[in-house]
Structure 1
Amino acid sequence: MYGMRTMAHFDVPFNYKQYVGPESLANLCFKTICNNLDIISIKNKRGYRTLIKGLVIPSEICDKLIEFAQKSDSNEIDDRFYFIFRDIFATRLRNVKISHSSITDDTVAIITNHQVMHLAFNDCSNLTKFSIECINNTSKNLQSLSLRGCPKIHPVDLTCYIDLSVNYLRRGYVFKTPNLRHLVLEHVKVAPEQYPILLSGLSELTHLDLSNASNIGNFEFADSIPNLISLCLYNVTIMDDPHAFVANVTQLKKLRHLDLSHSNHKHGYYENPNQVLAELVSGLPDLVSLDIGGTNLAGRGVAERPFDGSNKNYGLCDIQGLACRVNNPLQFLGLYGTRDGACRRHDIPAKVIAGDANDEQILVSARVCMDNKQDLLQKVLNDLYHVFRYESCERMDQALCIVLEAMEKHLNERHIQISGSATLFYIVKTKEKSGLVSQMKRRIIGALLAGMSTHKDEETMMRNGCLALCQFRIPQDVMWNYEALVKVLLHSAKHSAAEGFVQRIGIYLLNSLACQVEGEKKRLLGKLGCVGTMLELVQYRVEHNSHDDVLEVAWSTMWNMTDETPINCQRFLDERGMNLFLNCAERYPLKEELLRNMMGLLGNVAEVDYLRPHLMQQQYVTVFTSLLGYDRDGIEVSYNATGILAHMASDGVEAWTVEVPTRDDVLERMAEAIERWDLSAHRNINYRSFLPLLRLLDVYHTPQCQHWAVWAFANLTNVYPAKYCSLVEAEGGIEKLNKLLADDRPYNRIKSLALSVILNCSPDNPRGEQQEALQSSSEYSPDD
C-alpha cells in the first residue's frame, strides 16, 4: 500500500490502455449504489444510515463502496454514511482509505471494529487522539496505517494526558500495533527524544514516512526500527549534525529506498554535500532508490578529487557523492529542484531520473510525488504545462494520464487543478481528436467538470476549463454529464467578473448547449435557472447602457432554450422578460443581431397558444409592427416579426384587443413585407419541426397567416431541399397544401407559393417548372 517505487523502466507506470477501455460493469454498479444509497440502506430520524435488514456484504464490496461513495455526488458521506458498517457480521472491511472527510472519532471506532488490515486517513481534520486508541483496541490485523492532514490526531507532547488515565510516557508507547509494516505520520511535532516512544513496539516496521516532521534531531531512534527498507523524510530539515544523521541512518542496512527531498531548496542545504552524500550511499549497500530533490546534495557538478582518496571513479560521475555507484547505478534517483541543475548533467549513475531537464524527467517527477507531495506536484505540473505551451512533448499519452490522475486524486488542491486544466487544454488542442476514444474523452471532461465544480469561484480554473471544453464537440461529448456542466456554467455566468472573458466563454458554451438539445434537456436548462440568469445579464447591460456580444448571446441562448419548450417561454414572461425586450428595442434599434435574437425568442413565445394573450399589448404590438419593414440584415428581423404577428392574428378578430395599430393595418403590412423578401435568400435559422407553421395553414379566416407560412415553406424547400422537403412530407405538409389549393378562400399568391412547395418536394419535377410556378401570380392582392 505504501511500498517503495523503483522505476527501472519508465514506461511501466504509464499504461495508456488502462484509461481507454470501457468502464467495468462492477464500477457502474458501485456508482449507481453510491449515488442512490437507499438501494442498500435506510435513514433513521437523525439521518444515520443502517443496512437494509437481511443484506450481507463481503469485504471486497464494502471496501469498494467506501471508495466510490467518496467520488459520488452525495453530501452525506460522513458519520451518517459510515454508520452502515456498524454491524460487523453483515458487513466486513479490510482496506479503508478516507480522504477529505468530516468524519469524527465515532467513524474510526466503527471502522476499526472490523479489525482492518490497511487504514488511511487523509485530510480528516476532525479526528483526534482518541482515534489512536480506537486503532489500538482492534489492531491485531493492522499492517499499514497512514495519517496525513489530520492535525488533531498527532500528539505534540507525549507527556500530555489523553484523558485522566492515559499518559504516553507512562505507558511507554503510542501505537499498540504489533504487526504493523507500513506507517505514515505526517507533520509530527514531538521532540526528538520522544520518537523512541512514538515508534515503540513497531520493530516489524518496514516502511516509515515522516514527511514534514518538525524536528527529528539526528535520527537517533534508528535502532527502534531495525527492519526498515523504506524511509521517507520529505521536507524534514536536518538542523543539527548531518554527519551524525548519516551515521544513524546508515545503521539501517536493509534500507532500499530513502527520500530526503524538499519542496523548497532553501531548507535542503547541507555543509559539505558531496561528503554527506558519499557517506550516506556507501553506508547503505542495498539502496536502489534515492530522492535528493530540492537539496544541494548533488553538489555543484564540478570535478573534485575524492575526499578520502579511495574512489577512483570520481572523474566518471557528474554527481561526486554518487561516484561509488558508477558501476552499480541506482534504479531511481530524484533530482527535481536540486541546486545547480543536477538533473541536466550527463554522467549520472541512475537508470531513471526525476527532474525538469526534459518531458521524461518531468513525468517521472510527477509520478514520484503523485500521492504524498502535493506542494511539489503542483510545481511539476507547472513545468509540464510549459513543455506543452512552449516546446513539444514526445510522451503525450503518458502526460495525459499523469495530469488526469493528479486532478482526480487532488480535487481540493486549487493550484493542482489550475495547472492540470491548463495542461489538458494544450494536450487536447494538440492531440488529434480521432486519437481520443470515447472513454478517454469522458475521463478528461469528467476531470475538468469536477475541478470546475469544486473551484467554481476561481476565475483561472473556470477559464482553463471552458477553453479545454471548447476543444470537444458540444453538446455531443458532454451529454453524459449535461446537468453538471450547465450548473457550473450558470454559476460562472452569474458570479464571474461582468464583461470578463470567463463570463463570455461560459455564455457561449451555454448557448451551444441550448442550441443542440431537445425536450427534457431544454426543460432542464430552464429548471436550473438559465432564463433568469440570462435576463440578469441583460439587465446589467441595460442599466449600464452597454452593448456587447454577451448581450446578444444571452438573447440567443433564450431563443434556443425556448424553442418548442412552452415552460421556458412561460419562465421568460414570469421573469419580466418583456420589459427588457422593450428596453433593448428602444436602446439598440440598429443592432441587427440583437433584434433578430429577441424576435426569434418572441416567435417561440407566440407559438404557445395560452401565452399569446400576454403579447397582446399595444406597446409590444407597436414594436412588432414597426419591425416588419426592417431590412438592414436581410429578412430575418422582418421575418420573425411577421411570424409573431401571424400567430397572434391566427386567434381571430375577437382576440385582437389592441386598438392601435389595427388588425387590418397590421395584416396589410405583413403581406407587403412578405412580398419584399427574396425567396432564394439563405437563412440563419434551423427548424426541427414545422408543426407551428403547419397550424397556420389551417387559418383560412386570416389568409395573411397562411401567406407567411407558405412563404417559409417555399423558401426553405427551395434553398435547402435536402434538409426540409422530407420534413414537410413527414409532418403531413403536402396534404395540407393540396387542401389549401382546393379551397377558394386563400388568394392566388398563397396558392402559387403552395404549389411551388409541392413541386420542390416532388423528385420528378424539373427545376424549371418550379421556378415558373414561383414567378407566376407574384403580385399580392387580397382581392384576387
Structure 2
Amino acid sequence: MQLPKLLALDVSGVVKNGDMKFLEPLQPRLTTLVLHNCIILESSLQSIYKVKTLRHLDISVAESSYAFQLTPNMLRLLIHNLPKLKYLDLSGNSLDTSDEEKKAELTENVPYFGPIDADFIEEGGGYVYEDEMVTYREETFSISKFLSNCRRTFKFLGLLHIDDEVVDTLPASKVANLSCETNILTALQMYRERKQFALVSMNAFFDTIRAVDCKQVVACVELCKSLGVNRILSETHSASLFHLSRNNYRMHFTDQTKQLIITALLDAIEKCRHLKNVTLLRNCGLALLNFDIPGDFYFEFERVVKNFLSVLKLKDSEGLLPRIYVYMCNSIVCHVEGDKKLLVGKLGLVECMLQLIKTGLEKRIYDEVMETAWSALWNVTDETPYNCKIFVSGDGMELFLSSLQAFPDKTDLLRNMMGLVGNVAEVPELRRQLSKHVGVFIKLLQNKSDGIEVSYNAAGTLSHIASDGPEHWIGGSVTRQDMLFHLEAAVDSWDINSQRNINYRSFQPILRLLDGNHSYQVHLWASWAIANLCSVSPDKYCELLQKENGAETLENLSRRRGIPEKVKTLIDTAIRIYRNHVK
C-alpha cells in the first residue's frame, strides 16, 4: 500500500521482529515516527536512516527486554542521516561501548549537521561539513556529551535511563532524564501516559522534594494533578504533595499556590476514594494537616468537609485514616462559627461522629478517635441549636450514657461529653430529653478528675434544666429541691480562681439565666461562671462582656432587692474586674 502523503505514524508496541521495510513507501513525506516499545535491530536503523524528512523519532522502550544497545557509531549515523531531526527519544535503551573498536570511534571527527537548506535536501543535495571538526577526548562515551558537541539544536531529547548525567550544555529546549529538577519535570510531563517512565520520574521527583530542593513548586503541583488515578503513581504523587506542603516550602507560598496544592489533594481523594486506596488517602490527609485549618480551606470549605466525612466512612484496619480526618474535622468546627458551623452539621458531621463513637463502643475501644469525636460534637453544637437537635435525635444521649458506663475514668472523655451536654441544655426544647438523666448529672457534680470542668458543666446543665421552673420538672425519683441542694453545694466547693479549660464565644446563655426570675441556685452558678472567667482571663472575657452589654445585666441584678449575699458578692466581683479592665 502506497501512502505518499502520510506525515505521522505511530506503531508503538507493534513491531516485534525489527523489520522496518514498511517505511520504504513512506519516505517522501513522513515527519513523525513513533516506535515506542518496538524491537529495534541494527538493520532497523538502516531503514530509518532513509526517511530523510523525519523531524520526530521515538525509539524509546519501557520494557527492559526490548531495550536496544546503541553504539556510538549508530548514534552518530542516526544524527548524520536525519538532518531535520528535532525530536529524538531514546529513553529506556542502553549504550554499548564495551568493544575496543567502538571505543576508538570516540576520537573520530564529528560532522556539523546544520542548519541545512530544506530545498537542498529534497533536491538530493549532500551534507555540509564545517572545516573545524569537534573531537572527543573523553575516556568514557556519554550520549549527553556527544549530543552537546553535535552542533544540532533539538526541541526534545528523551534520555531517561540511557543517560542521566548532568550536562548543562545539551542542545535541546527540553530534556527528559533524571539529571536535575527541570529534566525530571519534563520527563513527568512527556511520559504521563507511559506509566513505567512516569513512575521512575516520579520517584526521582519525590527524592528532590523530600530534600527540600524543589524550585518549581507550581509546575510540580500541576504535574501531580495530571497524573491520573494509577495506584502507584497516585500514592507517590500524594507523598510528594505532602513534602511540598511542609513548612519549609509552605512558608514561601502565596495563597494561590496553597489553593493549588489543596485542590490537587482534594482531586486525588475524590478520584481514588472509590478505590479505597488507604495509603493514598493517608498521604493526602497528612499533607492537608500541614495547612492552617480551617483558614486555608475556606476557598473550598464545603468540598473539604464533604471529602473528610466521606473518608471517615471508609474502613482502615490500622486506624490511621480516622485519626487523621477526625482530627481535621474537629479543628474545623473548633474555629468556625455561625453559618459555617451550621453548614457542617447539615453536611452530616454530627451523624458521622456518632457513628465513630458507636463503632468504638461496639469494639470496647477507647482511643484518640473516640475522644476527638466527642470533642468535635462539643464544638459543633456550641451556639448551634440545629446541630444539638441532630445529636439528640441520633441517639446521642444513649451513646453518652454508654460511653460513661464503659469508660468512667477517662477524664478527657468526661470533659468533652459534659461540655456537649451543656450545649444541648442551652436549647429550651431539648431540655426535656435531658431531664430524664438528672441523677447522672448530680453524680458528675462530684467529679473533680479534671479540675472543675466536669463538675462545672454538669452544674451548668442542671441550672438550665432548673431555669424552666418547677412546672416542667420531670427528674424522676430526684426532687427538684434535692437537685438544687446538690447544685449549690458543688458551686460552693469551687475556687473562684480556678484555671479553666473552656472557651466561651458568647456570654448570652449565661446572661439569660441571670436576667430571669430563676431559682437562687441558678443565679449562683451563672454569677460564679462570669466572675471566674473574668478573674482568670480578664483580657478576653471583660471584652466579651462589654461587647454583649453584659455589665448592664450584672448591675441590674446587683441592685435587685432580696438578692442572696453569695450571688451579690460574685456579681460585684465581676463588675469590679470589668470596670478596672475596661477604661
Q: TM-score, normalised by structure 2?
A: 0.87
> Kindly, what percent of the aligned residue pairs are identical?
36
The residue aligned with 1:278 is 76
Instruction: Indicate how the Cα distance of structure 1 residues 349 and 605 shifts in structure 2: closer, same or farther if over 3 A, else same.
Output: closer
- Which string of whole-angstrom CA distances, capped at 9 and with x for unpartnered residues, describes residues 445-488 of structure 1? 00100111111221111111111111111111111212222122
What is the 5 A alignment of 1:309-708? 313=135, 315-316=137-138, 318-319=141-142, 323=146, 326-328=149-151, 331=154, 332-338=156-162, 342-344=163-165, 350=171, 353-370=175-192, 372-389=193-210, 391-393=211-213, 396-398=214-216, 400-456=217-273, 457-498=276-317, 500-617=319-436, 620-708=437-525
TM-superposed CA distance for 1:347, in Å, is 10
What is the 5 A alignment of 1:721-760? 721-760=538-577
Q: Aligned partners of 2:165, 2:271: CA distance in 1, in Å?
A: 37
Q: 3-state DSSP class of the match of 1:333?
A: strand
Q: Give the Å deviation of 1:423.
A: 0.9
CA shift for structure 1 position 747: 1.1
Paired residues in the alignment total: 553
Partner of 1:19: none
1:661 Cα offset (Å): 2.4
Q: Assess if the C-alpha contact under 8 Å between 1:234 and 1:260 holds in 2.
A: yes
Question: How has the CA–CA distance of structure 1 residues 751 and 248 changed in structure 2, closer, same or farther, with 3 Å as cutoff?
Answer: same
Check if 1:260 corresponds to 2:59: yes
How many angstroms apart in 2 are the aligned matches of 1:511 and 1:522? 11
1:377 Cα shift? 1.8
Q: d(CA) in 1 for partners of 2:400 and 2:427?
A: 18
Q: 2:39 aligns with which of 228, 237, 240?
A: 237
Deviations 1:648-673 (A, max 9, x none): 01001121112432211221221221
Offset of residue 324 of structure 1: 7.8
Q: Distance in 2 between matches of 1:347 and 1:721?
A: 64
* Match for residue 292 of structure 1 among 51, 70, 90: 90
In the alignment, is the contact (CA less than 8 A) between 2:241 and 2:287 conserved in 1? yes
- Residue 164 of structure 2 aligns to a residue in which SS? helix
**Aligned partners of 1:253, 1:735: CA distance in 2, in Å?**
94
CA contact (8 A) 1:329 1:349 kept: no
Moved more, 489-498 or 444-453: 489-498
Partner residue in 2 for 1:153 = none
Deviation string for 1:312-335 (max 9, x for gaps)? 835446237985873425544322
Distance in 1 between the 2:294 and 2:227 partners?
27
- Please tell me the residue identity of whatever aligns with 2:207: H
Moved more, 673-682 or 557-566: 673-682
Measured against aligned partners, the alpha-carbon deviations of 1:240-276 in whole angstroms (never above 9, x if no partner) come to xx23321222223233332222223332234x64443
Alpha-carbon offset, residue 298 of structure 1:
6.4
Other-structure match for 1:187: none
CA distance in 2, matches of 1:575, 1:694: 29
* Offset of residue 557 of structure 1: 0.8
Distance 2:505 2:58 in 1: 63
Partner of 2:22: 221
Deviation of residue 608 (structure 1)?
A: 0.5
SS of 1:678 mapped into structure 2: coil
Separation (CA, whole Å) in 2 of partners of 1:263 and 1:477: 40
Relative to structure 1, is the Cα distance of residues 511 and 300 closer, same or farther in structure 2, using a 3 angstrom cutoff?
Answer: farther
Equivalence for 1:713: 530
Q: 2:426 corresponds to which letter in structure 1?
A: E
Which residue identity is paired with 2:379?
Answer: N
Residue aligned with 1:455, SS: helix
- List alignment gaps of at least 5 residues for structure 1: 1-195, 767-784
Distance 1:250 1:532, change over 3 A: same
Cα offset for 1:744?
Answer: 2.4
Distance between the aligned counterparts of 2:233 and 2:266, measured in 1? 14
Aligned partner of 2:131 in structure 1 is none
Q: Counterparts of 1:347 and 1:413 in 2: how far apart (Å)? A: 33
Deviations 1:315-365 (A, max 9, x none): 446237985873425544322123xxx323779865564322443442332
**Using a 3 Å threshold, how does the CA distance of structure 1 residues 592 and 704 change in structure 2: closer, same or farther?**
same
CA distance in 2, matches of 1:230, 1:612: 77
C-alpha deviation, 1:497, in angstroms: 1.1
Q: Which residue of 1 aligns with 2:125?
A: none
The 2-side partners of 1:745 and 1:631 are apart by 33
Matches within 5 A, 1:68-87: none
Contact 1:299–1:319, Cα closer than 8 Å, also in 2: no
Greater shift after overlay, 728-737 or 756-765?
A: 756-765
SS of residue matched to 1:711:
helix
Give 1:254's aligned amino acid.
Answer: T
Question: Cα 1:210–1:721, aligned 2, differ >3 Å: closer, same or farther?
Answer: farther
Change (3 A) 1:664 1:237: farther
In structure 2, distance between residues paired with 1:574 and 1:475: 28
Q: Quick one: distance in 1 between partners of 2:425 and 2:398?
A: 16
Secondary structure of the residue aligned to 1:258 is strand
- Secondary structure, aligned partner of 2:518: coil
Rounded to whole Å, the distance in 2 between the matches of 1:533 and 1:349 is 57
SS of 1:677 mapped into structure 2: coil
Task: Mark the runs of 5 or more structure 2 residues left unpaired by the alignment.
Answer: 111-133
TM-score relative to the length of structure 1? 0.66
Q: Secondary structure at the match of 2:301?
A: helix
The secondary structure found in structure 2 opposite 1:426 is helix
TM-aligned CA deviation for residue 308 of structure 1: 11
Sort the Cα spacing of 1:552 and 1:250 in 2 relative to 1 into closer, same or farther, 3 A.
same
